[in-house]
Amino acid sequence: MKETDLSSFPKTLNAGAGKVKLLLWYFANALVLNSYFLPISIVKCWLLRLFGARIGNSVVIKPRVNIKFPWKLSIGDNTWIGEGVWIDNLDQVTIGKNCCLSQGSIIITGNHNYKKTTFDLITKPIVLEDGVWLGAGSMVCPGVIAQNHALLTMGSVATHGMLAYTVYKGNPAVEYKKRIIE
């Protein structure tokens, strides 16, 4: 079997921070956000702000949340982030006001180019506008913009933009019906 020389692979990830900050965040994330040790949202929001995240007022962050790079994260007022949410933000993630990221939902901004032998990293930002709701176990893929009050149902995968006040379901998620808020 031929040995591959990994030094020829492109190093395209821009973490946006130095090694010391990355290491400090790794431990802070593991001990505070991605654990059950400290269930207090105020402390979690403070820690995220300390590492460069823009966090609004009255944000609730439940236990076992995992955030890759807080300095590439913006969360609006009154947003709820459920247990086990994974924000893999290799690129900017913007979450509006009054959003709900239900348990186990995943936001992932990066993928690899399968057409190249070098497997180049591709990242695209994600925007969840005000009032967006991600159902439990749902996934939002790179480059998605979910407009105001769009809803992605449980276990669905958003691979493209979602229109305002519209419910999406399936894999890949397709428009299911209008979201009527009473």
Whole-number pLDDT of residue 6: 47
The pLDDT value given to residue 118: 84
Over residues 153-163, the mean pLDDT reads: 98
Confidence of residue 8 (pLDDT cuts 50, 70, 90): very low
C-alpha closest to that of 127 among 102, 105, 107: 107
Beta bridge partner(s), residue 170: 173
* Tokens encoding 50: 């300390």
Distance CA 71, CA 69 (A): 5
At residue 152 the predicted structure's pLDDT band, cuts being 50, 70 and 90, is very high
Residue 114 pLDDT > 70, yes or no? yes
> How far is CA 175 from each of CA 17, 109, 144, 170, rounded to the nearest angstrom?
38, 22, 14, 9
Give tens-digit pLDDT for 66-101.
Answer: 999 999 999 999 999 999 999 999 999 999 999 999
The token pair at 6 is: 């990994």
Looking at this protein, which amino acid is placed at residue 10?
Answer: P
Two structure tokens written together for 174: 């397709």
Token duo for residue 58: 């009255």
Confidence check: pLDDT of 37 > 90:
no
What is the model's pLDDT at position 12?
Answer: 61
In the chain, the domains with their CATH numbers are 17-178 (2.160.10.10)
- The side-by-side arrangement of strands in the sheet containing 86-88 is 66-67, 86-88, 106-108, 139-140, 157-158
| Residue of 40 and 10 predicted with greater confidence | 40
CB contact burial 90-117 (16+ within 10 A = b; e otherwise): bbbbbbbbbbbbbbbbbbbbbeeeeeee
